[in-house]
Amino acid sequence: MAAVSSSRSLFKLLLPLLREPVRAFSRTAPAGGSVPHRAEGTGALTGAVDRFGGVTVQLSDAGLPADISESVFSDLLRDALVRWKAEGKVAVWLRVPISLSRCAAAASTHGFTFHHARHDHAVLALWIGEGQSRLPGFATHQIGVAGAVVDESNGKVLVVQDRNKTMNAWKFPGGLSDPGENIGATAVREVFEETGVRSEFRSLLSLRQQHNHPGAFGMSDMYIICRLSPLTYDINFCTQECLRCEWLELTELAKTSDTTPITARLARLLLHGLERGFDGIDLGLEELPAVYSGMFYQLYHRPIPQTLKS
């Protein structure tokens, strides 16, 4: 009976501990202060250091448990921030996959704010350097590109009327540039997708900048018009996007009221090019090596006189 009674007493003592939820962290208090002991499989947060002294942490590659809690991640992040500050890092970027979005809430308690979001992840940022934050804002512009396909043999240009616009005005075919896509490639692609006409890039003609654009979620919009030369002439336009598509006389496009102001102005510019040569209006393309090894950039400018070329 004494043994049974003793066992029952021990069970009563252990019962509160058995009911307590298992924690991913346990803390002891040695002389140097409290030190976290991580649960098995949960290591310290690490990240890639950039040339500006910032750290980027990819949570999808950090080896975190799929069911990690906000409190556990908060402890991990707090320890990492102490370490990075001691190492002299100036900023921390957290790339949080949507499956670990609860970690964003935990990060916010340490001062992180949203920087931007993509399809399957969000990026949070925190300045931990001295003085005011010097972190750059996210990209704030969208790039729209149109192609003015000019048939120099007869002075006609390829134009479309959008199906889903309130005003069916003649305009040059075009659309948004894809990430990593060159301007000229966008113009050629969009012209073919909308009209079925194949073309090649010749030059950049103009650039329009507009802020608070309703079609860009209130951000800024850059609209670039390129001059293209036709490789084919038969029209097979996309009926989902376009109401009409025609080869129209530039003289008619320049004076008609059934167009947009920018299209009419560019029509007059193209007429000037036909009459006096496109060298006076073209911004040609030259590809040059960038300062980053193995990379190139596209530079658009007026032709350089032969006497000034090195």
CA atoms in the 13 A half-sphere facing the CB of 133: 13
Range of the domain at 49: 44-129
Cα 114 from Cα 122, distance rounded (Å): 7
Tell me what pLDDT residue 138 has: 87
Whose structure tokens read 């950049």?
204
**Residue of 241 and 271 predicted with greater confidence:** 271
CATH number of the domain enclosing 271: 3.90.79.10
pLDDT digits (tens, 9 = 90+) for 188-214: 999 999 999 999 999 999 999 999 888
Write down which residue in 102, 129, 156 finishes a domain: 129
Closest CA to 147 of 159, 161, 155: 159
Is residue 83 located within the same domain as residue 147? no
**Is pLDDT at 9 greater than 80 in this prediction?**
no
pLDDT digits (tens, 9 = 90+) for 138-187: 878 899 999 999 999 999 999 999 987 767 799 999 999 998 899 999 99
Q: Name the active-site residue from 193, 241, 249, 252.
A: 193
C-alpha dihedral over 85, 89, 91, 93, to 10 degrees?
Answer: -100
Note if the pTM is more than 0.85: no
**Is pLDDT at 37 greater than 70 in this prediction?**
no
Is residue 274 located within the same domain as residue 150? yes
87 has catalytic annotation: no
Tell me what pLDDT residue 240 has: 86
